[in-house]
Amino acid sequence: MKHAQPIPCDLLIVNGKVLTLDSQDRRIRQGAVAVSDGVILDVGDTADLLARTRPHKVLDAEGCVVLPGLVNAHTHAAMTLFRGLADDLPLMDWLQHHIFPAEKKLTEDWVYWGTLLACAEMILSGTTCFCDMYLFEHKVAQAADEAGMRALVGEVLYDFPSPHYGPLENGLRFTQDLIAEWKDHPLVRIAVEPHAPYTCSPDLIRACFHMAESHGVPMVIHLSENQAEVEEILRRYGKRPVAHLAELGVLSDRVIADHCVAVDEDDMDLLARHGVHVVHNPESNLKLTSGIAPVPALLERGVNVALGTDGCASNNNLDLLAEMDVCAKIHKAAAQDPTVLDARTVLNMATACGARALGFGDGLGRIQAGAPADLIVVDFRKPHLTPVYDPVSHLVYAAQASDVRHSVIAGRVVMEDRQLLTLDVERICAHVRTIAEKVR
Ligand SMILES: CSC[C@H]1O[C@@H](n2cnc3c(O)ncnc32)[C@H](O)[C@@H]1O
Ligand SMILES: [Zn+2]
């Protein structure tokens, strides 16, 4: 009898415990994942896939869990440059007296190196995809491309002159050019990103939304981050921030709203009704004492809630494993209910919900045939991950960044046995140290 020819594939991850995280099957199965042309070809038994495929490369996952890469749905990557520059302050004091003055010195070169550093930190801690808002975003896009990361990036837009593009008209034109320049890139996409209702006029927010609509891209905005913002927007417009955006006609499922801490029942109803995606950043919200976003109430209303770290100057790291742990715990304390935000819900927020919010749908965040091959391999052969009753529990409550062993983005191995393959981390750290000498 003639045997079928083995199918060539780019990569085979073998001997792992595969956490598919699909909607029906949350079981973990011992096995392998075959990858070809950037997507998952098959998930199955290791011996069977070794026999049926002819892999170009094999990654070992013995004693490890294979899961979808984490999605950091809100960050300002280049703020790695300002990590530890100003701590222990409330949001407005921190921004106006420390961060905005430091950002006046920013150059495109600083943003490029700060973002490379962020990409290194993110890959090392299991993130494969991020959403960014900052200045000189063409350099963020370039850095993400060089790191081989999936990213949704956008130039921040606000009413005052920007250290990058100067007057606002230039910012809108710059965003339009970015959209055109990156439209065919396989991993990097562009969003329109007005900063916040307190830094953007109604006309600017409307113009951003119309640009996002006409190009079919997401709009990202900080929204209702704390009570001071609510009071300021009430004073200016007689409406709370969410209602203000609703009145401007700019709430829709192409909107990604960062924070949504100070939201009331009506605000949450509006977010749910319009299909707005919310990004929860619990560590930044705790550190800036912005408060605790009502995530359980948002989820109850069916809002898609993703997870982000925010920038490194308000967190002070880009570690989504740590963010998941804090997220799962603070809501239990806030609700005085340990059943709130169980580990699976939080892992989903950090994977599939993030992918959906950023518009990278099509199976990203799941391990199934045809889905983009963004995968991480977490090494469970560690004292703090022993024994294993439920791998999801360990991923949320016990795993550390240094447990992430391999990382694959769109089928490309970007980290193998903790060695970064796309970035020279020593060189990046050395360069960022020279920039830091000029920050203060
Ligand atoms: C140029 S990116 C946008 C702008 O936002 C600042 N920023 C960083 N973190 C926050 C936050 O939590 N709320 C509001 N604004 C924030 C950042 O420093 C940039 O100036
Ligand atoms: Zn932010």
The DSSP string of 317-350 is ---HHHHHHHHHHHHHHHHT-TTSS-HHHHHHII
Check whether 290 has a pLDDT greater than 90: yes
Tens of pLDDT along 182-217? 999 999 999 999 999 999 999 999 999 999 999 999
- Mean pLDDT value of segment 65-83: 98
Distance 63 CA to ligand 1 centre (A): 40
Dihedral sign from CA coordinates of 399, 403, 404, 406: negative
Is 7-68+362-417 assigned to CATH 2.30.40.10? yes
Mind listing the pLDDT tens digit for each residue in 126-149? 999 999 999 999 999 999 999 999
**pLDDT for 228-284, tens place per residue?**
999 999 999 999 999 999 999 999 999 999 999 999 999 999 999 999 999 999 999
Mean pLDDT of 380-385: 98
Is residue 126 within 8 Å of 404, Cβ to Cβ?
A: yes
List 48's β-bridge partners, or say none.
Answer: none
Could you tell me how far CA 132 lies from the centroid of its own chain? Answer: 8
- Has 74 been labeled as part of a binding site? yes
CB of 290 shorter than 6 A to ligand 1: no
For residue 391, cis peptide bond before it (omega within 30 degrees of 0): no
CA 143 from centre of chain: 15
Specify whether the CB–CB gap between 111 and 78 falls below 8 A.
yes
199 exposed, middle or buried (CB, 10 Å; 0-12, 13-18, 19+)? middle
Is residue 103 part of an annotated ligand binding site? Answer: yes
Residue 2: per-residue pLDDT: 58
Q: SS3 for 351?
A: helix
Average pLDDT of the residues of the chain: 96
Tell whether ligand 1 has an atom less than 6 A from the beta carbon of residue 319. Answer: no
Encode 109-127: b = buried (16+ Cβ within 10 Å), e = exposed. Answer: ebbbbbbbbbbbbbbbbbb
**Per-residue model confidence (pLDDT) at position 347:** 97
CA dist., res. 362 & res. 216, Å (int) = 16
pLDDT tens-digit series, residues 22-72? 765 566 889 999 999 999 999 999 999 999 999 999 999 999 999 999 999
The Cα–Cα gap between 362 and 186 comes to 14
Span 8-23, average pLDDT? 92
Residues forming beta bridges with residue 64, ordered by sequence position: 379
Q: Helices 168-181 and 137-147, interaxial angle, to 10°? A: 20
Q: Is 97 annotated as a binding residue?
A: no
Q: How far is the CA of 313 from the centre of ligand 1 (A)?
A: 9
Helix H or strand E encompassing 111: helix 108-124
Q: Are 357 and 351 within 8 A, CB to CB?
A: no
- Domain map (residue ranges) of the chain: 7-68+362-417, 70-357
Residue 36's H or E segment, with its range, is strand 28-36
Indicate if ligand 1 lies below 6 Å from the C-beta of 153: no
CATH 3.20.20.140 fits 70-357, yes or no: yes
Residue where the block lists tokens 């970035």:
423
pLDDT at 323: 98
Give the pLDDT score at 25.
Answer: 52
Q: Which ligand 1 atom sits closest to the C-alpha of 195?
A: 3
3 state SS of 101 = helix
pLDDT of residue 22: 77
91, 195, 200: residue to mutate for ligand 1 pocket, most atoms within 8 A of CB = 195
123 CA → ligand 2 middle, Å = 20
Q: Which amino acid is at 82?
A: F
Neighbours of 203 (CB within 10 A): 11
Q: Is 244 annotated as a binding residue?
A: no
Taking the whole predicted model, whether its pTM rises above 0.90 is answered as yes
Q: H-helix or E-strand containing 38? A: none
Residue 432 has pLDDT above 70, yes or no: yes
* 286 pLDDT more than 70: yes
Helices H, strands E: what count in the chain?
A: 17, 18
Ion ligand 2, residues whose Cβ is below 5 A away: 310
pLDDT value at 18 more than 90 = yes
Annotated binding residue at 42? Answer: no
Output the six-digit token pair for 137: 């975003």
Q: Which residues pair with 155 in a beta bridge?
A: 134
Task: Compare 224 and 20 and report the one with higher pLDDT.
Answer: 224
**Predicted pLDDT of residue 23:** 63
What is the pLDDT averaged over residues 369-396?
97
What is the per-residue pLDDT for 210? 98
Q: Which ligand sits closest to the CA of 95?
A: 1
If pLDDT is split at 50, 70 and 90, which confidence band does 416 have?
Answer: very high
- 362 CA to middle of ligand 1, Å? 30
Tens-place pLDDT, residues 209-231? 999 999 999 999 999 999 999 99
Task: Determine contact, residues 11/414, Cβ cutoff 8 Å.
Answer: no
171 Cβ below 6 A of ligand 1: no
Which ligand 1 atom sits nearest the alpha carbon of residue 225? 13
What is the average pLDDT across 320-326? 98
Q: What is the mean pLDDT of residues 294-320?
A: 97
Reference 282, options 247, 250, 329; nearest CA is 329
Tell me whether residue 403 is annotated as binding: no
Q: How big is the chain by its Cα radius of gyration, in Å?
A: 21
| CB neighbour list of residue 128: distance below 8 Å, 6 or more residues apart | 69, 70, 71, 122, 149, 150, 374, 375, 376, 407, 408, 409, 414
The two tokens of residue 318 are 């880009």
**pLDDT at residue 370 is higher than 60:** yes
CA atoms within 13 A on the CB side of 292: 14
Task: Check residue 262 and report its DSSP letter.
Answer: S
Percent of the chain with pLDDT over 70: 98
pLDDT tier at 9 (50, 70, 90 boundaries)? very high
Q: Region 335-358: what's the mean pLDDT?
A: 97
Evaluate if residue 1 carries a pLDDT over 60. no
- Comparing C-alpha atoms, which of 269, 276, 236 is closest to residue 255? 276
